[in-house]
Chains A and B, each alone.
Chain A
Amino acid sequence: MLDFPKWKVWLIGIVIAIGVLLSIPSLIAGTPLGASWPKWLPQYRISLGLDLAGGSHLLLEADAADAQKQRLQGMEDSVQTELRRDPAIDIGDISTQGGRLSFLVRDPTKIDAAVERMRDLTKPVALTGNRDWDVQVVDSTRVVLTPTPTGTIKAMKDAMSVARDVVRRRIDPGGTKEITVVTEGSNRVLVEVPGVENPDALKKLIGQTARLEFKLVDQSANPQDVQQGRAPAGSQVLPMADGSGFIAVKRRVMVSGDQLVDAKQSFDQDGRPDIDITFNTAGARRFGRVTQENVNKPFAIILDDKVLSAPNINEPILGGRAQISGSFTVQSAHDLAVSLASGKLPVKLNVIEERSIGPDLGKDSIHKGVIASAVSIALVVVFMLVTYGRFGVYANIALVVNAFLILGIMAMFNATLTLPGIAGFILTIGAAVDANVLINERIREEIRRGRRLLDAVETGYKEAFRAIFDANVTHVISAAIMAYFGSGPVRGFAVVLLIGVVTSVFTAVYFTRMLVALWIRRTRPRELHI
């Protein structure tokens, strides 16, 4: 028991010093002291959960049907571009019905050449040996492309990681805010933005797919057929964004939003809000050529399958800059500009969970939480003192050290403190107290049984440790399960509990044991007051 080598004392001392040092930045954050914390010392900080700091939490889920639709559309564009390189292959009747892309090759002798070109468009999916699309010939005239299951999974995964980046760029174009945007599972994105009081603005930004396309208006279409949804071959009917009816456009995408480098909200000559867009070099060249070849024809500007406007091409637009007009407000033009500049979402995202907490509620909760914690710790400290005297003092020192260590470790891992986290904190303090109660009660017992002082203390620590160990393992089991299955607040609770179990065994058992050993060695007491 007294055999407590110097190096152990130093080791325990250093661990505690580091813990305290790590916890200080979190404790003084936001006070004048926070600014004067030296730069060369550790700067780790605990971040406050949304329930404490206020902010918005959005869980978005990919719309599977839309993902499939967008993938088919993308493939259709690639197919048309690819087959245009060989003018001998004349195709028609492109369809994306039933989740498959199929088209007719008019000259049956060219079907092999078409299939060959299709095979070049498909890609192997890493490690699976499968390709992302199946290419088949039906009735020796139709080529059918079917997405393979592995290809679909891979495409969803890729889409989600692009979606995550797009969402981040839309919410935080400057890249300066402390926001969290992470993918969860196979088809979800979690967004947490501290301090935003109006989540509606957020949702508007995220809610738009922002797929921008320029297509030629099909002027040959019969207006009556168009209003009934019928379009000539090679064309499609799209609704106007302002609800004023329908319009027929050629299926072929002349220029797409993928080729934009920038988009800004601006005003047209009449002072109406519009959007200035800038193409990249390839896009500018293409846009120039298309406008040159189609002067005096209407050009449809299509956003997410709705036609914003279909202005006439008065003259070739060669500089790679253009304006999108439509019935915008300043706000909606601005939102659309941000969305266009950040790229299109590869899949539509639906909000399936939303939580927003005003900053005042959070502040009030922190305030009350801190006061309640302080009062309950004070009560426990007094209680331990009157129950165990000197040993109570040691337990109390251990308690305070424990609190610092928990905060320090949380700061080191940049863990998030939530309200249930505060409850977990108090519970941990309770567990630490229990460890000391077990030890001290056991020492009392051993003294009653007539053991000598040193022997009693030694046995007390040894016998009590078994129960402390088993009890803490059960805590670890439930905390680990909570951390794995729990969401948000529950996880915050589990994290504090897990850290607390480790620190409280360390402080309540090893640290107090050191204090007791040092005391006995120094004063050689003859009798124990416990």
Chain B
Amino acid sequence: MKLLKLVPENTNLDFMRWRNVALVLSLIATVTSISYTVYRGLNLGVDFVGGQLIRVSFAQQVDVEQLRSKVDSMHLGEASITQFGGPKTFQIRLPKPPGGDAAANSVATKVKQEVEKDYPGAKIESVDTVSGKVSEELADNSAIAIALAMLGIAIYIWFRFEWQFGVGALLTLAHDIAMTLGFFAFTRLQVDLNVVAAFLTIVGYSLNDTVVIYDRIREDLRKYRKMAILPLINLSLNETLARTVVTSLTVLLALGVLMLIGPEVIFGLAIAIFLGVLIGTYSSIYISAPVLVWLGVKPDSFLKPEEKDAAQPETA
């Protein structure tokens, strides 16, 4: 049987030739992404801003406008109604009621009764009520979790490799997260708790890629001590190219299926990871690796001090 080889043997692509172009592009993309996110804000779900989310599935086709005016007539604040999954399923999102946490409970009940009365056969699929206090905690905890994960990983890489690698990993992560945030700000996809899991997965996956490439650079640095840094990084990237392509494709394949036919509730999660894999693959090549050049990684970075001394010609 002829085996599939997606990447030809002994490729010799000059990745680093485009590193400055890539840098400019990445910078522009990152800055655009961050400013756009700041400007438009994220479509934060009730998990992070508090409020109520009620999912209803109807027995028959429903006119959205009619449903909207129905909900508006209950004077519960600014309601947003969106389709969710099938054509007969809607989510009704309501803001936090002004009467404090206790008031939230009666609101959901009221909506439920009204909807069930006017649309026979309608079923309430789920109700999420999150008070302001809890949503603040969830948002804080999520931000702390992402920041801590980034920091923990960068420190680990620093210990296992060199400080330049730790910085490189951190910059790569920052880029990936900025891009993903921008994506969510642009598409207005709702950011809920599941999406935080996706963010952390992107952090993990992007690091996975970066670690594999860093591992090879470290190995080649030890092996070819005379080689200049740029050709050496190119060599390492080419050597790991087949793996990069095969793995990314496999993960994208699995996630693509999840996005297309998986449950609606995890669509946000799946698409975030899908995108993260694409971004992570790019950034591990064009951010992780060039950063090492700028931070002055040299072939002797991995030598112990005494070996370094031995490598220096005697001057006296």
List the interface of chain A (C-beta within 8 A of B): 51, 59, 61, 199-200, 203, 350-358, 360-361, 364-365, 368-369, 371-373, 375-377, 379-380, 383-384, 386-389, 419-420, 422-424, 426-427, 429-431, 433-434, 437-438, 441, 444-445, 448, 463, 466-467, 470-471, 473-475, 477-479, 481-482, 484-490, 493-494, 497, 529-530
CB distance from A530 to the nearest CB of B (A): 7
Judged by a CB distance under 8 angstroms, whether B152 is at the interface is: yes
C-alpha gap A72/B260 in the complex (Å): 60
Interface residues on B, range: 35 or more
Q: Tell which of A357, A423, A433 touches B269, judged by Cβ atoms closer than 8 Å.
A: A423
Q: Tell which of B102, B219, B273 touches A351, judged by Cβ atoms closer than 8 Å.
A: B102
For B200, the chain A residues whose CB sits under 8 A away are 478-479, 481-482, 490
CB distance from B190 to the nearest CB of A (A): 14
For B30, the chain A residues whose CB sits under 8 A away are none
Judged by a CB distance under 8 angstroms, whether B79 is at the interface is: no
For B240, the chain A residues whose CB sits under 8 A away are 441
For A437, the chain B residues whose CB sits under 8 A away are 243, 246-247, 250
C-alpha gap A388/B123 in the complex (Å): 50
Q: A369-B263, A433-B250, A475-B204 are in contact. List 11 more A-B contacts (CB 8 A).
A: A51-B265, A200-B105, A358-B124, A387-B6, A419-B265, A427-B273, A433-B247, A433-B251, A470-B211, A475-B208, A486-B193
CB distance from A367 to the nearest CB of B (A): 8
Residue of B nearest to A478 (CB): B149
Q: Are B254 and A429 in contact (CB under 8 A)?
A: yes
Q: Are B194 and A387 in contact (CB under 8 A)?
A: no
Judged by a CB distance under 8 angstroms, whether B212 is at the interface is: yes
C-alpha gap A420/B249 in the complex (Å): 22
C-alpha gap A360/B263 in the complex (Å): 12
With A420-B197, A420-B266, A475-B204 known to touch, is A356 a contact of B126 (CB < 8 Å)? yes
Q: Are B211 and A486 in contact (CB under 8 A)?
A: no
C-alpha gap A364/B123 in the complex (Å): 14
With A423-B270, A467-B212 known to touch, is A358 a contact of B194 (CB < 8 Å)? no
> 8 Å CB contacts to A: which residues of B131-179?
131, 133-134, 138, 141-142, 144-145, 148-149, 152-153, 156-157, 160
CB distance from A489 to the nearest CB of B (A): 5
Residue of B nearest to A493 (CB): B197
Q: Tell which of A361, A368, A433, A463 touches B126, judged by Cβ atoms closer than 8 Å.
A: A361
For B63, the chain A residues whose CB sits under 8 A away are none
Q: Are B258 and A481 in contact (CB under 8 A)?
A: no
For B212, the chain A residues whose CB sits under 8 A away are 438, 467, 471
- List 24 A-B pairs, Cβ < 8 Å: A200-B109, A351-B101, A354-B105, A361-B126, A375-B257, A379-B253, A380-B253, A380-B254, A420-B269, A422-B266, A423-B270, A426-B254, A427-B273, A430-B251, A433-B251, A434-B247, A463-B219, A470-B215, A474-B208, A475-B208, A477-B152, A478-B204, A479-B204, A490-B145
Q: Tell which of A365, A387, A477 touches B3, judged by Cβ atoms closer than 8 Å.
A: A387
Residue from A368, A371, A379 whose CB has the most chain B CB atoms within 10 Å: A368
C-alpha gap A373/B194 in the complex (Å): 18
C-alpha gap A466/B218 in the complex (Å): 11
Q: Are B247 and A481 in contact (CB under 8 A)?
A: no
For A475, the chain B residues whose CB sits under 8 A away are 204, 208
Q: Are A358 and B123 in contact (CB under 8 A)?
A: yes
CB distance from A424 to the nearest CB of B (A): 8
Q: Are B193 and A490 in contact (CB under 8 A)?
A: yes
With A351-B105, A365-B265 known to touch, is A477 a contact of B251 (CB < 8 Å)? no
Residue of A nearest to B249 (CB): A383
Which 8 pairs show the lowest CB-CB distances between chains A and B?
A372-B262, A485-B145, A376-B254, A365-B263, A376-B257, A467-B215, A354-B129, A478-B149
C-alpha gap A360/B86 in the complex (Å): 14
For A441, the chain B residues whose CB sits under 8 A away are 240, 242-243, 246
> 8 Å CB contacts to A: which residues of B7-24?
9-10
C-alpha gap A497/B205 in the complex (Å): 12
Q: Are A444 and B242 in contact (CB under 8 A)?
A: yes
Q: Are A481 and B145 in contact (CB under 8 A)?
A: yes
For B246, the chain A residues whose CB sits under 8 A away are 387, 437, 441
C-alpha gap A364/B89 in the complex (Å): 13
Judged by a CB distance under 8 angstroms, whether B311 is at the interface is: no
Q: Are A364 and B3 in contact (CB under 8 A)?
A: no
C-alpha gap A376/B274 in the complex (Å): 14
Q: Are B127 and A488 in contact (CB under 8 A)?
A: no
> 8 Å CB contacts to A: which residues of B201-224?
201, 203-205, 207-208, 211-212, 215-216, 219
For A355, the chain B residues whose CB sits under 8 A away are 126-129
C-alpha gap A419/B195 in the complex (Å): 12
Judged by a CB distance under 8 angstroms, whether B255 is at the interface is: yes
Q: Are A478 and B125 in contact (CB under 8 A)?
A: no
CB distance from B33 to the nearest CB of A (A): 22
C-alpha gap A467/B208 in the complex (Å): 8
C-alpha gap A433/B263 in the complex (Å): 23
Judged by a CB distance under 8 angstroms, whether B94 is at the interface is: no
C-alpha gap A375/B253 in the complex (Å): 10
For A448, the chain B residues whose CB sits under 8 A away are 9-10
Residue of B nearest to A356 (CB): B127
For B156, the chain A residues whose CB sits under 8 A away are 470, 473-474, 477
C-alpha gap A351/B52 in the complex (Å): 13
Residue of B nearest to A501 (CB): B204
Residue of A nearest to B208 (CB): A471
Q: Are A352 and B149 in contact (CB under 8 A)?
A: no
For A372, the chain B residues whose CB sits under 8 A away are 257-258, 261-263
Q: Are B253 and A383 in contact (CB under 8 A)?
A: yes
Q: Are A419 and B263 in contact (CB under 8 A)?
A: yes
> 8 Å CB contacts to A: which residues of B57-73?
57
Q: Are B153 and A487 in contact (CB under 8 A)?
A: no
Q: Tell which of A199, A353, A419, A467 touches B211, judged by Cβ atoms closer than 8 Å.
A: A467
Residue from B55, B101, B144, B247 whose CB has the most chain A CB atoms within 10 Å: B247
CB distance from A187 to the nearest CB of B (A): 11
For A484, the chain B residues whose CB sits under 8 A away are 145
C-alpha gap A478/B207 in the complex (Å): 10
For A477, the chain B residues whose CB sits under 8 A away are 149, 152-153, 156
For A445, the chain B residues whose CB sits under 8 A away are 239
Judged by a CB distance under 8 angstroms, whether B130 is at the interface is: yes
Q: Tell which of B10, B101, B142, B205 touches A350, judged by Cβ atoms closer than 8 Å.
A: B101
Residue of B nearest to A389 (CB): B3
C-alpha gap A51/B148 in the complex (Å): 27
For A422, the chain B residues whose CB sits under 8 A away are 266
CB distance from A443 to the nearest CB of B (A): 11
For A199, the chain B residues whose CB sits under 8 A away are 127
Q: Are B207 and A474 in contact (CB under 8 A)?
A: yes
CB distance from B239 to the nearest CB of A (A): 7
Q: Tell which of B124, B128, B247, B273 touches A423, judged by Cβ atoms closer than 8 Å.
A: B273
With A383-B250, A434-B247 known to touch, is A485 a contact of B141 (CB < 8 Å)? yes
